[in-house]
Structures are given as C-alpha cells and as structure tokens.
Chain A
Amino acid sequence: QVQLQESGPGLVRPSETLSLTCSVSGGSISGHYWSWIRQPPGKGLEWIGYVYHSGTTYYNPSLKSRVTILLDTSKNQFSLKLNSLTAADTAVYFCARIPLFLEWYFDYWGQGKLVTVSS
C-alpha cells in the first residue's frame, strides 16, 4: 500500500519561500508522476504541478513563475518550493500520485499539511 506524507514548516512569512517534502513509502517513486495540490481554507482544490521520475515537470500556468517541484529518487521523496508568498498562498498542501501516463488523476494522497503565510 503506497503511503505519502508531507513535511515542512507550518508557518512562513510573506515574501519568503515555502518548502515542503513528500515522503513516499510502500512503493517506488519510479514510473509514476508525483504532484502537489493545494486547498485554501474553506475553498476548492487547485493543482500546482507534477514531476515525472525522468525529471520532467509541468506546472499550473497561474503559479508557474513561482513554483519548483523536484524529485529525489535516492530518498523516495519529492519536494515543492513556492516563492514570493502572500496570504493568498495560505492553504492545506497535499502531495499525491498520478498512476500512469494518460491516466491523469490522483490515486494516492498524503494527509495534507496546513501552511499559513503570516508575519
């Protein structure tokens, strides 16, 4: 059973950079796509981007200029960096797996990490 777990700071100051890590257990990180999704309090889901084990990435155009997603196959982890933070970036951040090419959905999710942007 694949399990994902987000980790990182829960409070970040405005204008700084959010850094989160997702640790994958119960399966290899190779052969799948790995994604970040966020959900502001009381609002809907927003796809942030994904990385493939080859290192290929795709990002939501609305966030592309501020986002970097990287893969660390040696640790079976992937990470999210989001810079130039504002209060609008306050959200629960989920990591998730996309199972296969052409099956662009999320079959396994982490429990989510609340990140608050505040001074």
Chain B
Amino acid sequence: SYELTQPPSVSVSPGQTARITCSGDELPKQYAYWYQQKPGQAPVVVIYKDNERPSGIPERFSGSTSGTTVTLTISGVQAEDEADYYCQSAPTSGTSLMFGGGTRLAVL
C-alpha cells in the first residue's frame, strides 16, 4: 500500500538549518503539504502545494520537491520551532488523503 515515509527525528542547534524529508512513490504526481504540531495543540499548516507559505507563517519555512522526495526546510531554526512535523498528500481526485508518520524536531 502507498505510504509517506519521514525520519522519526531530526536535531539541530538554534540558528542552523533543519531539513525534514518525506518520501513517497506518488509524490511526483501529487502536491505535498506540511504541518507543525506542538504538544496539546492541533496541527497548523506551514507549507501547502509543495512550496507555498500561508499568511502568518515565517519566511524561514520553505518547501521543495525532487522526484519522490519532498523536503521541509527551516532556516535559522528557533527554539519555538521545536515540534512534530507531518507531511501530507493526496491524489488530485481527493479520494484518499494520507499523512506521513511524523518527524520530531529537537532544537538542542
């Protein structure tokens, strides 16, 4: 069955660049979306349609694609960016929506 695969964890120091990947065979044909979830809160979309940033999301968040892998990049990581990050995708038909397993970003 189709899956989106993310690394369980990524660690960076404040001010460095964090890259979180998401791999899936269908990603070249589908948009990817990224969510940030802090403990006890609902997820918040930080990137939509591969690389678009919603209003209110800091410019340090960006998205990119390369083949079957999409990447969320956080430049100049801040302590407040420590959270779980989930990728999500769906075919254009919208008949099935799927999340990756999530990546915990630790800011050391």
Q: Which residues of A contact B (CB under 8 A)?
A: 33, 35, 44-47, 50, 58, 60-61, 94, 96, 98, 101-107, 109-112
Contacts and interface: CB of A to CB of B under 8 A. Distances in A.
B38 to A, nearest CB: 12
Interface stretch (B17-25, B64-72, B84-92): B84-92
SS of B interface (majority): loop
Interface residues of B, number: 26
A44 B87 CA distance: 11
User: Is chain A's binding surface mostly helix, strand, loop or mixed?
Assistant: loop
Contact of B96 (A60, A102, A105): A60
Nearest to B95: A58
A114 B89 CA distance: 25
Interface in B72-108: 86, 88-90, 92, 94-102
* Nearest 8 interchain pairs by C-beta: A104-B90, A109-B42, A105-B33, A47-B97, A45-B99, A44-B102, A104-B94, A44-B101
Contacts of A107: 45, 48, 54
A47 to B, nearest CB: 4
A45 B42 contact: no
A45 B48 contact: no
B86 A45 contact: yes
Nearest to B88: A105
A59 to B, nearest CB: 9
B101 A94 contact: no
A47 B98 contact: yes
Contact of B45 (A47, A94, A101, A105): A105
B87 to A, nearest CB: 10
B90 A112 contact: no
